[in-house]
Structure 1
Amino acid sequence: MRIVAMVSLWLLPAWVWAVQLPPGFSLQTVSDRVPDARQMAWGAQGTLFVGSRKQGKVYALRDLDGDGHYETRDIIAKGLFMPSGIAFRDGALYVAAVNRILRFDDIEANLMDPTYEVAFDGLPSDSHHGWKFIRFDSSGRLIVPVGAPCNVCNRGRPYASLLALHLQKGHYEVLATGVRNSVGFDFHPRTGELFFSDNGRDHLGDDSPPDEINRLSTAGADFGFPFVHGNSVLDPQFRTSEDRLRAVQPPWFELQAHVAPLGVHFYRGTQFPAPYRQALFIAEHGSWNRSSKVGYRVTMLREDEQGAPQYQVVIDGWLDGEQPLARPVAFLEHPDGSLLISDDYNGAVYKLTYTDSPAHADR
C-alpha cells in the first residue's frame, strides 16, 4: 500500500503535485532557497552546507530558531567551477571544484568572511562529467570520482575512475577503473565496502544500457567502461576480448536505463522501521534524452536473507506525465534520524521523516 500526499509546489504555485510515500512517512521542505542544490554536509555546530553545480556557489544554512526550517542562508563562495561536492572534516569544509579541492578552514567561525586554500590541485579540468561527489573514508583519504569527459571514449587514467586522495602527501591511489560517471557513493555500515552509482552511456536506445549500482570489494577493480556496460552490453564502438570481459566486475544491481542514479546512502539511523535500516537509498535524478522520461524518484535496495538486493520505490510522484516536478540529487542523515534530500530542480532541501502515522507532505 502506498499513500498519495498532495502538496503545492512553492516555486510554481499553479502546480499541485502528488507525492507517494510509504505508510508512516512524511515529507517536508526545510529550505527552498538553495538554487541548484547538490551535495550536503553538516558542520560541527549544526550548519547545513550545500554545494551547487550550475550556480558556482556554496551555501551555508542555519536553523536559528530551532523550528526545523533553515531560514538563514549565507553564500560562502561564488564563481567556483561547478562546486557540486562538499565534505566537512576537523572544522574545515572541503569543496570539489572540478580540477581542485578547496579547503575552508574553521568555516563555521568565518561564515561572513570565509577564505580558502587549495588542498589538492591537478585533477582534470574537463567540464563534461567533471562535477563531483566527495567523502572522506575512515583512514582520512578523500574519495573523489573522475568521470569520462565524453559520452563514450577511452581516455585512460585518471578518467573514468574513483580516486583516493592523500591530501597531506599530495598524491592519489586509483580505487576503481571503468567507471563512466559516478556522482554518489557510500560505505557499507557493517563491511566498510564502497558502493557507488554509475550513469550508463547515452544513444544506445531507450532501454540500454542499464544504469548501475556497484560494489567495490577489491581495490583496482575494473567496472567495464567503455567496453562493456551493465552485465553484458558490449559497446559497438570498441572491440572487447574475452579476457577483458572475464576481468570486468559486474554491477551489484542493474537499474533501468537512463534513471540517472546520483546520490546513494546507507541509512544508519533508527527512526525508520527495520526494513529501511542499512538499506541503500538511491536518488534517481531522471532521464534527459529518453523518448519517455523515467526516474525522478527515490528508491532503495535492501538485501534479502540470501544477500540479494531487493528494489523498492520510496518516494514517487515527481514526474507528471513528461513534466518533472523535482529531481533528487543527494542524501544526508539528520541527527534526529530523518533523511535530508537535495533537489537541484527546485533549489530545495526536503526532510523525509517516519511519523508512524498516515503519510503526508507539507512545507
Structure 2
Amino acid sequence: MNNKLVSALLGLTFASSAMATDITDRLSVPAGFTIEPYALNVDNARQLAISENGVVYAGSRKAGNVYALIDKDQDGRADKQVLIAEGLNMPSGIAYKDGALYVAEVERVIRFDDIDNKLDKAKLEVVYDKFPDKRHHGWKFIRFAPSGELIVPVGVPCNVCAEDPEFGRIFSLNLESKELTTLAEGVRNSVGFDYHPDSGKLWFSDNGRDMMGDDIPPCEINRIDEVGQHFGFPYFHGGTIPDPEFGKGKNAADYTQPALNLGAHVAPLGIHFYTGEQFPSDYDNQLFVAEHGSWNRSKKAGYRVMMAKVEDGQVTGYEPFITGFMENEETFGRPVAMVQMADGSLLVSDDYANAIYRVHYNKK
C-alpha cells in the first residue's frame, strides 16, 4: 500500500460494532494451511472486494453497512476499520473496478468513486435503480464480467412461486447503456458466482427451495454454457425432482441440469475459483464453495467451506476445506464469501461471528 494512502488513513475513526468472537481455534484446514483472523468486529460481514492498494472492502446484509479494512503494517491482519456507508438496504454485494467501489442494495446499484482516497468522505452515486424492491431473497452478490459488464442476480420473492421475468434470474448490466441481459433464468436465489479462469464460463450457486423435507431438494452449483439457459426453477429442483405444485406437466429434460448437486439446505453462497500461486498446484483453478448452513433442517448441515475439483469443465470431487463452524448442533460461525489476496492467500467472511479469516499456505 502506498505511503500517502496509509498516512491519510491514520486519522480516520475506527468504526466499532458488536464484539466478535475469535473462533479460529475451532476451525480446521488441510495440513500445511493456516487460518487466522484477518479482521474481527465486522458486523455481519458478507461479500468482499480488494483494491489495487490492498484495501479490503466488505458489505453486509442485516447491518446495512459497508466497511473498509486496512492492514497498515502488512502483517496479514487488518488494524483499522472504516465505516464507508451505513443505513443502506441490505448492501450485501460489492465489487471493485477502476478505483470505484460498486455496492448492490435490494433495488439499486450505487458507486463510490476514488474510494481508496475518500474513505472518510465517500460520495454515493446511483448507477442503476430499477431492480425490484422485494426484500425476500433481494440481497445480492455482484461481480464484473471479463467484458466489463456487471453481473447482478435477482432472487425470487418467495420460497417457491410462478415465474416472473423480473425475478429468478442472473442479469448482465451494461453500465453505459443501462441495458439488462438475461444470462440465466430458472434460478431461485444465487448469492455467489465466478468465471472459470480457463473456459471463461460463469459458474453460480443456487439455494434450493424449503418445505420439502430434511433431505430434498439439493442445493446446486450450476454452469452457464449458453446465454439464456433455464435451470428449472420452479418446475424442477436439483435437475430432476419435480416441484409438487409447479412440476406437473413439465419435462426435466427441457431444463439445464446442475453441474453439482449439494446437500439439502446447506445454502451455498459465495464461490471462488483459485488462481493464485501460493497454494499447492492441486488447488489451481479449483472451486471453493461457502456453505452458509441450514436453518430449516432437524439436524444442521453445511457450515463449512468446501472445494469442488473441476476437470475439463466437470466436477470430479467435493471435499472439505474449512470445517468447525458448527459442532454438535451449536453454531459458531457461518461462512459467506471469499476473495483472493495479491499474495495468493484467501479471505473468508463470516456474517455470524462478524469476522473475516485469512487462509494461507505455509511454504517450506
Q: CA deviation at 1:107?
A: 1.1
In 2, Cα distance between the equivalents of 1:188 and 1:180?
A: 22
1:277 alignment counterpart: 284
Q: 2:334 matched to which residue of 1?
A: 327
- Structure 2 distance, partners of 1:303, 1:199, is 20
Match of 1:221 among 219, 225, 229: 229
Percent identity, please. Answer: 49
Q: 1:221 to 1:240 in 2, by over 3 A?
A: farther
Matching residue of 1:342: 349
RMSD of aligned residue pairs (Cα, Å): 1.6
Q: Deviation per CA, 1:67-97: give whole Å up to 9, x if none.
A: 2211111111100000000011111110001
Deviates more, 1:205-214 or 1:36-45: 36-45
Deviations 1:155-213 (A, max 9, x none): 41120000000121112000100000000000000000000000000010000000000
AA of the residue aligned to 2:37: T
The question of 1:163 aligning with 2:171 is answered: yes
Question: Would the aligned equivalents of 2:28 and 2:324 in 1 still touch at CA under 8 Å?
Answer: yes
| Aligned amino acid, residue 325 of structure 2 | W
Amino acid at match of 1:19: L
What is the one-letter code of the residue matched to 1:77? A
Matched with 1:289 is 296
Change (3 A) 1:52 1:12: closer
* Matched letter for residue 214 of structure 2: D
Q: What TM-score do the two structures reach when normalised by structure 2?
A: 0.92
Partner of 1:83: 91
Letter paired with 1:247: D
Whole-angstrom CA distance in 1 between matches of 2:88 and 2:239: 37
For the Cα contact (< 8 Å) 2:294–2:302, is it kept in 1? yes
User: 1:5 is matched with which residue?
Assistant: none
Distance 1:111 1:306, change over 3 A: closer
Is 1:145 the equivalent of 2:153?
Answer: yes
Q: Which amino acid aligns with 1:82?
A: M
Could you tell me how far apart the structure 1 residues matched to 2:285 and 2:343 are?
Answer: 16
Partner of 1:96: 104
Superposition pairs of residues 10-25 of structure 1, within 5 angstroms: 11-12=20-21, 18-25=26-33
Q: What's the offset of the Cα at 1:16?
A: 8.8
Measured in 2, the distance between the counterparts of 1:54 and 1:28 equals: 25
Task: Give secondary structure in 2 for the equivalent of 1:352.
Answer: strand
User: TM-score when scaled to structure 1?
Assistant: 0.92
Decide whether the 8 Å contact of 1:304 with 1:310 is kept in 2. Answer: no
* Structure 1 counterpart of 2:64, one-letter code: G
Alpha-carbon contact 1:196-1:213 (below 8 Å) kept = yes
Return 5+ residue gaps in structure 1 as ranges.
1-9, 358-363
- Matching residue within 115, 121, 124 for 1:113: 121
Of 293, 310, 328, 2:317 maps to 310
Q: Secondary structure at the match of 1:20?
A: coil
Say whether 1:253 aligns with 2:260. Answer: yes
Deviation at 1:304, TM superposition (A): 4.7
**Farther-moved stretch of structure 1 (281-290 vs 149-158):** 149-158
Letter in 1 for 2:86: K
2: distance between equivalents of 1:115 and 1:175?
A: 31
Partner of 1:136: 144
Aligned residue in 2 for 1:68:
76
Contact 1:17 1:325 in 2 (8 A): no
Q: Which residue identity does 1:29 align to in structure 2? A: P
* C-alpha distance in 1 between matches for 2:312 and 2:104: 38
1:252 to partner: Cα distance? 0.2
Per-residue deviation at 1:306?
9.1
| Counterpart in the other structure of 1:6 | none
Aligned partners of 1:350, 1:284: CA distance in 2, in Å? 15
1:46 aligns with 2:54: yes
Flag the 1:100–1:307 CA change in 2: closer, same or farther, 3 A.
Answer: closer
Distance in 1 between the 2:56 and 2:322 partners? 23
Q: Does the CA-based 8 Å contact 1:207-1:256 persist in structure 2?
A: yes
Q: Which amino acid counterpart does residue 353 of structure 1 have in structure 2?
A: H
Distance 1:16 1:170, change over 3 A: closer
1:352 aligns with 2:359: yes
Distance 1:220 1:239 in 2: 20
Answer whether contact 1:253 1:309 (CA < 8 A) is retained.
no
